[in-house]
Structure 1
Amino acid sequence: MVILPESEHPIKAYGYAARDPSGSLSPLTFSRRATGEKDVRFKVLYCGICHSDLHFVKNEWGVTKYPVTPGHEIVGVVTEVGSKVEKFKIGDKVGVGCMVGSCRSCRSCDSNYEQDCSKQIGTYGFPNFDGTQTYGGYSDHMVSDEHFVLRWPENLPLDSGAPLLCAGITTYSPLRYFGLDKPGIKVGVVGLGGLGHVAVKMAKAFGAEVTVFSTTPAKEQEAIEGLKADHFINSKDVQKMQAARGTLDGIIDTVSGNHPIAPLLNALTPRGKLVLVGAPEKPLEIAAFSLIMGRKTVAGSNIGGIKETQEMLDFAAEHGITADIEVIPIDYVNTAMERLLKSDVRYRFVIDVANSIKAE
């Protein structure tokens, strides 16, 4: 017997969902579980739109099960807590990012790297421990185990802070892990989009000297004057790329489109690190000697654990770091997805969920 989304659990919920690979989102009535003893339930106030939402609703990664309600940059206010919840109370401002579960006992979980747990549960579109599917933040409320709920810093805006739950931790974590978080370090940021603009802000807050690489010359003014980057290089300019050889201690590559890697490796100093946080469709082409000569590293990074995500939020609040956003009502979401596909946003859409979602 097929169990419909609205009857899986006892608590009715409302959201927007895609029902097929067209990716078109429309209202959906579904359900969420009752509040367990370690659960936190909260009203969703804002939810950022991540580029991975677009990939997922269109099933471009081949794993989507419909209907799917996206959203993993979620902030809200607590409305109910379970009897054994210790960290939160009703009325607290909270956030939920890319994960709502993991095994909590493997080596990765014990080391605060829940994002690497083989049993990690994504915030939307993944099977939960009870076999039902998770639904994300394009919805009126959420419920999550308190371990995966973040305390929201008092002076961090809810709307422009929401994208930090993905874009923020995706860029903060590799800067920290690969030692690119110290004053005077020379850091390159490839791409000036949703991830890239936050990477610049994070690196500058650590005291790094930041160089932005982009194929769009028009972004130079925004990079230098708006984001306070120290240098801008049009990566199509062969002469400027040549002049950058051997100048950077590390590079955070945020670009998901296919692009050449060799010029970026050339820009690294000996023992420099190129860290990929974007996911190009085609495999990388890397000449062995570009790594061997100078003992350079090509690495990857994917969000961060819960402890580090909380650390990132506190760091962002301390240094006044937020995403540059355009706030939209939820019924604009399909247009926003079309614009996102064309990179027609500076730099993140955020849905004003609380003021625009209405039960059908």
Structure 2
Amino acid sequence: MAAPSYKFQGWLGLDKNAVEGKMEWQEYEPKTWTEDDVDIKISHCGICGSDLHTLRSGWGQSIYPCCVGHEIAGTAVKVGKNVKHIKVGDRVGVGAQSGSCLDCEECSAGLEQHCTSMVGTYNGKYSDGSKSYGGYADYCRAPAHFAVKIPDELSLAEAAPMLCGGVTVYNPLVHNGAGPDKRVGIVGVGGLGHFGILWAKALGCKEVVAISRTNNKKEDAMKMGATKYIATEDEGWATKNARSLDLIVSTVSSPNMPLQQYFQLLRTQGQFIQVGAPEDKIPAFSAFALIAKGCKMGGSAIGSPADIAAMLKFAVDKKVHPIIQERPLKDANNAIVDMENGKARYRYVLVNEKHASELKA
């Protein structure tokens, strides 16, 4: 195979101190090329909370050096001979997953994200032993099965954060019955939570309740489409709103969440779905909080390529636009520090300015 005319280089975390804005721009060796792969010239990459967890080894020891970023959008510049759904020049994206066995019960059922051989788009290893590298970079190589075409009606900047953050909240809403007859609560008004509010509104939910620690984001949440706002700093908030919600999707990753009180908000046979992934254990709670009302607690993980494609189409059909702030890729270190400090409103998107300008030319 002839060597590509472009280099794989990006912002690499070399140790856990990288999360402090100490990533270094370096060249790296991508996964071994196969005819099932695609190379993407990256124009945009969303910043996800997972990036920070990984840079600091918060979920376990990371495989340094690592290039994070799994909300990758750009243009296909090389496509394997076995790939049928993508051609060179297509606008494509890759989310948080870039590998699975494609043969197990889960993969056969379209649940690739639950495959026991799941490979993350970064900080993972493929079956041949090569490493996966993410999107804070110029180019990305990934198995094309996990690359999704981006509709022309969506800008690449808007599509990027949907590929992980968007589908992470879209999936538990759609697969747990969110719709016109449901009262839905979204815990956390951040990067994930703002998607939850936008999706719930677009799904026509009977009530969309934003739940946050303080009242600081109330005005923003109402503009996004929330019909009600609950601040957990207010005294008696759980009692005042008891048995009011059919479905709660929790996007927060703090282990100090008031879980018992969240369960109070559920109606009989309500559901609580956790998508935020704390680095520590979540609080203990009384089983009677679920038993008494016949409620269920569950979790949800990202989405399959088919889920992502369906979500992007839904975004186009319902004219859903995330609230993003574009940051230059060259300033990625400053951007992750600002992300860690809670300054994003509501999703940072890194712009590879050279590649983005080529698209406009």
Please tell me the TM-score bracket, short chain as reference: over 0.9
Given the alignment of the two structures, is residue 205 of structure 1 paired with residue 195 of structure 2, yes or no?
no
Counterpart residue type for residue 13 of structure 1: F
The 5 A counterparts of 1:62-101 are 62-101=60-99
Q: Equivalent residue for 1:249? A: 246
Counterpart residue type for residue 17 of structure 1: L
Other structure's SS at 1:201 match: helix
**RMSD, matched Cα:** 1.6
Q: Measure, in 2, the Cα distance between the counterparts of 1:142 and 1:20.
A: 21
Other structure's SS at 1:340 match: helix
For residues 177-199 of structure 1, the C-alpha deviation after alignment (integer angstroms, 9 at most, x for no partner) is 2112x213100011100000000
The answer to whether the Cα contact below 8 Å between 1:46 and 1:74 also exists between their aligned partners in 2 is yes
The answer to whether the Cα contact below 8 Å between 1:44 and 1:77 also exists between their aligned partners in 2 is yes
Q: Equivalent residue for 1:215? A: 213
The answer to whether the Cα contact below 8 Å between 1:328 and 1:349 also exists between their aligned partners in 2 is yes
The answer to whether the Cα contact below 8 Å between 1:329 and 1:355 also exists between their aligned partners in 2 is no
Q: Measure, in 1, the Cα distance between the counterparts of 2:208 and 2:288.
A: 26
For residues 134-163 of structure 1, the C-alpha deviation after alignment (integer angstroms, 9 at most, x for no partner) is 111111112222211101011011102210
Give the alignment partner of residue 46 of structure 1, picking from 44, 47, 54. 44
Q: Equivalent residue for 2:182? A: 185
The answer to whether the Cα contact below 8 Å between 2:31 and 2:132 also exists between their aligned partners in 1 is no
Structure-2 change in CA distance of 1:129 and 1:354 (3 Å):
farther
Q: Equivalent residue for 2:285? A: 286
The 5 A counterparts of 1:224-263 are 224=222, 226-257=223-254, 258-263=256-261
Q: State the 1:80 CA deviation.
A: 1.7
Structure-2 change in CA distance of 1:231 and 1:144 (3 Å):
same
Give the alignment partner of residue 17 of structure 2, picking from 22, 34, 42. 22
Other structure's SS at 1:192 match: coil
Q: Measure, in 2, the Cα distance between the counterparts of 1:33 and 1:240.
A: 50
Q: Measure, in 2, the Cα distance between the counterparts of 1:282 and 1:166.
A: 23
Counterpart residue type for residue 225 of structure 2: K
Counterpart residue type for residue 25 of structure 1: M
Q: State the 1:32 CA deviation.
A: 2.6
Given the alignment of the two structures, is residue 194 of structure 1 paired with residue 191 of structure 2, yes or no?
yes
Other structure's SS at 1:162 match: helix
Give the alignment partner of residue 137 of structure 2, picking from 136, 139, 145. 139
The 5 A counterparts of 1:263-274 are 263-274=261-272
Counterpart residue type for residue 87 of structure 2: K
Other structure's SS at 1:311 match: helix
Other structure's SS at 2:191 match: coil
The answer to whether the Cα contact below 8 Å between 1:329 and 1:356 also exists between their aligned partners in 2 is no
Q: State the 1:248 CA deviation.
A: 0.5
Counterpart residue type for residue 11 of structure 2: Y
Q: Measure, in 2, the Cα distance between the counterparts of 1:157 and 1:201.
A: 17
Q: Measure, in 2, the Cα distance between the counterparts of 1:322 and 1:25.
A: 30
Q: Equivalent residue for 1:316? A: 315
The answer to whether the Cα contact below 8 Å between 2:250 and 2:273 also exists between their aligned partners in 1 is yes
Q: Measure, in 1, the Cα distance between the counterparts of 2:330 and 2:149.
A: 29
**How many residues matched?**
347
> Unaligned stretches of 5+ in structure 2?
357-361
Q: State the 1:34 CA deviation.
A: 6.3
**Greater than 4 Å deviation, 4+ residue runs:** none
Q: Measure, in 1, the Cα distance between the counterparts of 2:331 and 2:52.
A: 14
Q: State the 1:240 CA deviation.
A: 3.5
